[in-house]
Amino acid sequence: MNKLLDQDTLRIKKYAAIDIGSNAMRLLITNIVEQDGKESQFNKNSLVRVPIRLGQDSFTVGEISQENIDRMTDAMTAFRLLMKVHKVEKYLAFATSAMREAYNGNEVVDIIKEKAGINIEIIDGKKEAVIIASTDLHHLLKSDKTYLYVDVGGGSTEFSLFSNGKIVVSKSFKAGTVRLLNEMVRDVLWQEMEKWIKANTEDYDEVTIIGSGGNINKLFKMSGKLQDKPLSYIYLNSQYSFLNSLTYEQRISELGLNPDRADVIIPATQIYLNAMKWSGARNIYVPKIGLSDGIVKAMYYGKI
């Protein structure tokens, strides 16, 4: 028998992560390949994204609407069934800023548990940053370099500074794409972000940005670059100008962007550009990782 197929030497576990964000919710199913004497491999099996913009409810009205509660319940029921047919053995479901700030967030959690059979935990920005930071970055992080990890979501942006291969400091700001679209991010918050980034990066000669989130992934895909190549500040700035020159409808019809991506991609690009400018970074790397990947890895290694 081929040794790779020998059940004694190779084991495959299936874990899943549900990320309930402000702009969309995702189910990531991961195959974890264990082999004696080797580092465990994490291979994406399936990723399902459902565009339910909870932040539009939470940030403007303060509660999740009945329509979106019903849509969430349907989505979570579908996620539970998908996990069942994939034979997922372990999962965690985390909700971020939209559910965190909705006054009926805990009520929605109870409804989902009763109707869809999914247990959801609402996490704070600090835990979110820690989970994202636990993603497998060692293949990107060079021990002699400094990186600012920037994860832009619909409700918040998480920053984590890495130096010498270790996390130095992290911070969550209520500056996300859905908030920016609704003109809910005041100048004082931009100033706080600028002050924090400058204060925490000024002692380092050179900083490189690592970007995560659906919008920077889309921008990277549009660039046609190879996965290990970065985007430059100049390129990102030109893309920002180009996207701004198009109408919302043109971004959908001419660029093929999803309707729920075509509006938030502009404020997201603005955040990444500012992070690069304030840290002095000339390049941004875009690995295919995010909160969902962090949940799976943190769960597997017993960090959460």
Q: pLDDT tens digits, residue range 15-40?
A: 999 999 999 999 999 999 999 888 89
pTM score, two decimals?
0.88
> What are the pLDDT digits (tens) for 65-105?
999 999 999 999 999 999 999 999 999 999 999 999 999 99
Give the other-Cβ count within 10 Å of 209's Cβ: 25
pLDDT of 302: 84
Confidence of residue 1 (pLDDT cuts 50, 70, 90): very low
% of the chain at pLDDT higher than 90: 78
pLDDT of 204 strictly over 90? yes
State the burial class of residue 244 (Cβ atoms within 10 Å of its Cβ: 0-12, 13-18, 19+).
exposed
Q: Which tokens hold the place of 160?
A: 């984590």
Per-residue confidence (pLDDT) for residue 137, from 0 to 100: 64
- Residues 108-130, mean pLDDT to the nearest whole number: 92
Q: What is the mean predicted confidence (pLDDT) over 281-286?
A: 95
Q: Are 162 and 131 in contact (CB under 8 A)?
A: no
How many whole angstroms separate alpha carbon 18 and alpha carbon 14? 14
State both tokens at 139.
Answer: 């293949």
Phi, psi of 246 (to 5 degrees): -100, 150
pLDDT tens digits along 236-278: 999 999 999 999 999 999 999 999 999 999 999 999 999 999 9
pLDDT-based confidence at 301, cuts 50/70/90?
confident
Alpha carbons 160 and 257: distance in angstroms, whole number = 29
What is the sign, positive or negative, of the torsion defined by CA atoms of 128, 151, 19, 136?
Answer: negative
User: Mean pLDDT over residues 278-286, rounded?
Assistant: 96
Q: Is residue 5 pLDDT above 90, yes or no?
A: no
